[in-house]
Amino acid sequence: MKIAIIGVGSVGSAVATAVQNTGLAHEIILFDRDGIRARAAAEDLGHASAFSYDIKITAASNYREIRGCEIVIIAAGANQKPGETRTDLLQKNVAVISDIIPRVMANVDTKRVKIIIVTNPLDVMVMLAQKLSKLPASRVIGTGTMLDSARLKIILSRQLGISTRSISAYVLGEHGDSSVVNWESVYVGGIKLDDFCKQAKISLPQTTRKTIEHRVRNAAYEIIRGRGATWDGIGGAVADLLHAIINDEKRILTVSTVDGVGKNAIAMSLPRVVGEMGVIMNLHTKLSASESADLRKSAKIIRKNFDLI
Ligand code: NAD
């Protein structure tokens, strides 16, 4: 599998390392409008491959070099500075995605390619990329709330003293400040969260749940305050998504793709079945009345931001 990564800053580099460590790619092409940075990243990553998988890693100086790539990951564009929201990046990254997508589309097999969007504000960028690429929505996939869902599971794992691997929990809606924690769908070892708490004699009152929601939504802000940007978590999310696609796992992941058409089109994260053809089924989880209202609000925010473009 030949994979291209467009944008090799903090996130693109972490994604490249994570992709390399999956062992699923035989070739990784790195492209950045800063060619010197792309060449340096390819060189450094190439050295790392001597200690892991034998993968060809090259820097492309031209989009023609991504020919033959079945998966193109877009991690280019402005990132949040301390205090900035993802939405603050909107206009800058509209320009970036509008520059990249036509060039990518001119050089890939449009019948097979899958585009993975990482650039923020994630859901709006997915909508823009899908519109510009004219690909089926199923093959323009944003990492969405995969990372937010992982953050929720990790916080719950620490709170409950249970491995993240035994916890099923989803964050839905926008990958941003209006994301929605779907408490109704939290299961621990197949047991509904409330029942698990009763059995384990753990108290998880509404106030604690609100604090958890706040921590999930603010995780990126905290990391940006501490290290300037976030990159490792999203690297892991992209690698996980690649596993699901390349191995045709048909795994349920909270990715963002466009649903609906025209004025009703909206990209946001819901649990979706992911396999080698991209997103092959959209699922609807049980929502409480307030979760349902919050999800509608989140969808409206995404659509409003898309309409600002
Ligand atoms: P960065 O500034 O470190 O790197 C961005 C890179 O993009 C730079 O190397 C730059 O030269 C390149 N670039 C910009 N415009 C380009 C273009 N038109 N063509 C090719 N390359 C271009 O930023 P970062 O920290 O790596 O963040 C990248 C993006 O990822 C941001 O939008 C950030 O908000 C987003 N992000 C998303 C998630 C998520 O969960 N989806 C997590 C973290 C970061």
Question: Looking at residue 81, which CATH number applies to its domain?
Answer: 3.40.50.720
Residue 149 lies in a domain: no
pLDDT digits (tens, 9 = 90+) for 7-41: 999 999 999 999 999 999 999 999 999 999 999 99
pLDDT at 83 over 90: no
DSSP letter for each residue of 50-69: TTS---EEEE-SSGGGGTT-
Residue 106 lies in a domain: yes
Confidence band for 179, pLDDT divided at 50, 70 and 90: very high
Q: Once rounded to an integer, what is the mean pLDDT over residues 121-145?
A: 98
Residue 123 lies in a domain: yes
43 Cα to the center of ligand 1, angstroms:
20
Per-residue confidence (pLDDT) for residue 243, from 0 to 100: 98
Set 26, 47, 175, 214: catalytic member: 175
- Residues spanned by the domain of 51: 2-142
118 Cα to the center of ligand 1, angstroms:
8
Nearest residue by C-alpha to atom 19 in ligand 1: 33
pTM for this model (two decimals): 0.97
- The position carrying tokens 């050295």 is 47
**Per-residue exposure over 10-48, b if at least 16 CB sit within 10 Å of its own CB, e if not:** bbbbbbbbbbbbbebbeebbbbbeeeebbbbbbeebbee
What are the distances in angstroms from CA 199 to CA 168, 186, 196?
A: 17, 15, 5
Ligand 1 atom index nearest CA of 144: 41
Assess whether 243 carries a catalytic annotation: no
91 φ/ψ angles, rounded to the nearest 5 degrees: -65, -40
Q: Once rounded to an integer, what is the mean pLDDT over residues 131-150?
A: 98
- CA nearest neighbour of 77 among 45, 43, 101, 105: 101
Residue 58 lies in a domain: yes
Q: For a substitution probing ligand 1, which of 5, 6, 32 has the most ligand atoms within 8 Å of its CB?
A: 32
pLDDT at 78 over 90: yes
pLDDT digits (tens, 9 = 90+) for 238-260: 999 999 999 999 999 999 999 99
CA angle 259/122/280 to nearest 5° reads 35
pLDDT at 276 over 90: yes
What are the distances in angstroms from CA 251 to CA 13, 182, 242, 246, 276?
A: 25, 18, 11, 11, 11
Q: For a substitution probing ligand 1, which of 17, 30, 66, 79 has the most ligand atoms within 8 Å of its CB?
A: 79
Residues of the chain with pLDDT > 90, as a percent, come to 97
Q: For a substitution probing ligand 1, which of 85, 120, 149, 257 has the most ligand atoms within 8 Å of its CB?
A: 120
Ligand 1 site residues, Cβ closer than 6 angstroms:
6-12, 32-34, 37, 75-80, 89, 93, 96, 99-100, 118-120, 122, 143, 147, 175, 229-230, 234
Residue 34 lies in a domain: yes
- CA nearest neighbour of 177 among 98, 80, 93: 80
80 Cα to the center of ligand 1, angstroms:
9
Number of domains in the chain: 1
Q: Are 234 and 226 in contact (CB under 8 A)?
A: no
Ligand 1 atom index nearest CA of 14: 26
Per-residue confidence (pLDDT) for residue 228, from 0 to 100: 92
Per-residue confidence (pLDDT) for residue 64, from 0 to 100: 98
pLDDT at 218 over 90: yes
Residue 226 lies in a domain: no
Residue 74 lies in a domain: yes
197 Cα to the center of ligand 1, angstroms:
40
Residues of the chain with pLDDT > 70, as a percent, come to 100
154 Cα to the center of ligand 1, angstroms:
25
Mean pLDDT of the chain: 97
Per-residue confidence (pLDDT) for residue 82, from 0 to 100: 87
Q: Are 234 and 15 in contact (CB under 8 A)?
A: yes
Ligand 1 atom index nearest CA of 119: 32
Q: Once rounded to an integer, what is the mean pLDDT over residues 184-195?
A: 97
Residue 83 lies in a domain: yes
- Return the bridge partners of 187, or none: 168, 192
